[in-house]
Structure formats: C-alpha cells, structure tokens
Structure 1
Amino acid sequence: MTIMPLGIDNVHFTVADLEAAIGFYEAVGFKLKFRVAAAHMALFAIGGEEPGLVIRQGEDAGGGKFWVEVADAVETRKALEKLGHSTVWLETATGLTVETRDPSGNVLGFADYRKRPELARESLKAP
C-alpha cells in the first residue's frame, strides 16, 4: 500500500496559557469553533476550510510553526502591528509572508501569492 496524503487534517500547537492563546488567535482572525475544557484545548477554524488549528495547554509550548494564505501580506502586517504584535518579513518565490508569534512563541505566518497569483486559492483570485 502506498501512503497518499489527501490534505491537512488539523494543525496542533502547544501553548503555555490557553486563555492568552485563545485571545491571540481570535484577535488575528481565527474563529473559535469549540473548547474542550477538560482537555485544556480549543479548536479554531482556518478560513472556510475544514482543517483546523488545535491549541492545547502543555509544558512543551512554543515549538510550532504554521503559515496560512492571505490575500495581502502587506495589509496583514499593518493589522498585526496595529494590534501590537511584532512581525518579521520574508520574501518567497510566490510572494510575501509576514510572521508573528503567539504568546507561547509558536510562529504564525501569513503568506500571499502576489508573485504567482495563479497558485492562489480560488477565493483569492481576481475575477
């Protein structure tokens, strides 16, 4: 049998403070789908796709890195900085990416496809 990944199921981050992390992810545009208080975890929607971001409180916090696609990384950077988050710029083969960190140190990147719009998600392509 050949292993054939079909797509992302969920992305998991460990965080030091669940409440602080929930506030951060809501502030940067993720929608809280549900919480599991007994397990110290929460699940966020990632855009209109079914895979989600799962955050779980634990001692091994801060080692994750995850990028999401946005229409415009420049505007996203402005919004992040207005919220008080420090950012780092990266130029990629497909466009620009702005990275920031959640309160536990996990890296969240927002990547656009300005250099290769034909590769962008259908919902982000110009009509």
Structure 2
Amino acid sequence: MRSPPALINVEVIDETDEGTHYRNTLKILGRTTTSDELYTADEENYRTTSVYDDEDFSGELFFDHTETEAGTHVRLHGDIEIGTSLFERALRPVVTRYMNRQYRNSLMTMKELIEVEYAAQEPEPVES
C-alpha cells in the first residue's frame, strides 16, 4: 500500500449522510496516536474537511480544491491542537512542517495512481 509513512492503520467505523467516520492510527515523530476522524465533502464549495478528536491531537483540516488548466490545485489549511505542555507547544512547528510534507507527498502519490489508472482505461487508437 502506498500511503503516508505516518499512517499505520485506517478503520472505517461508519458511513452516514453526515460523512464517513474513520479511526486512524498514526506514528508521528516516534509517537503513536489513534484519532477518530469525520470526513465530509462539500461538493458545492469544492472542500473536504477532516475533523480529528483524541487526547493528543484535535482540530479540523480543510482541503480546498480549485480546478486550473493544469489540473486540480489543493490547498490544505486548518486549526490543530497538539497539546498544552511546553514540550508539545515547542513541537508544533516541527509537526506542522511534517504534516505539510506528508500531505503533499500523499497527494502526489494519489495523482500518480489516478493517472496510471486513467491511462490504463483509455481505449487504444484505431488504425485506419
């Protein structure tokens, strides 16, 4: 499986009209954490949202999708609480850089996989 290295396991808990509930297990900077996530898609505004909630990591991540001539541009932003201790607050910039890199790499992997799948499904040209 090609996924972000931090992602150890994903379990689908429930799918409802509200969205899809996941339980993710991540290993970030040597620390393993499990978080529950609600993933929703707002097709009208081209936004997907992930809401996380656990004792170490909570908040929202927003993925705004904008179509361009070159493809789809995805902008990640959000508000994440990592913890309240001095150590956890000092770690915040490191975790932010790490998450940005992981999501960028994850999106590039998805793009590659989609392009390969799309190319495999295209009919071959008919010679006349």
Q: Fold match, TM over 0.5? A: no
* TM-score, structure 2 as length reference: 0.24
Larger relative strand fraction: 2
Larger relative helix fraction: 2
Bigger radius of gyration among the two? 2
* TM-score, structure 1 as length reference: 0.24
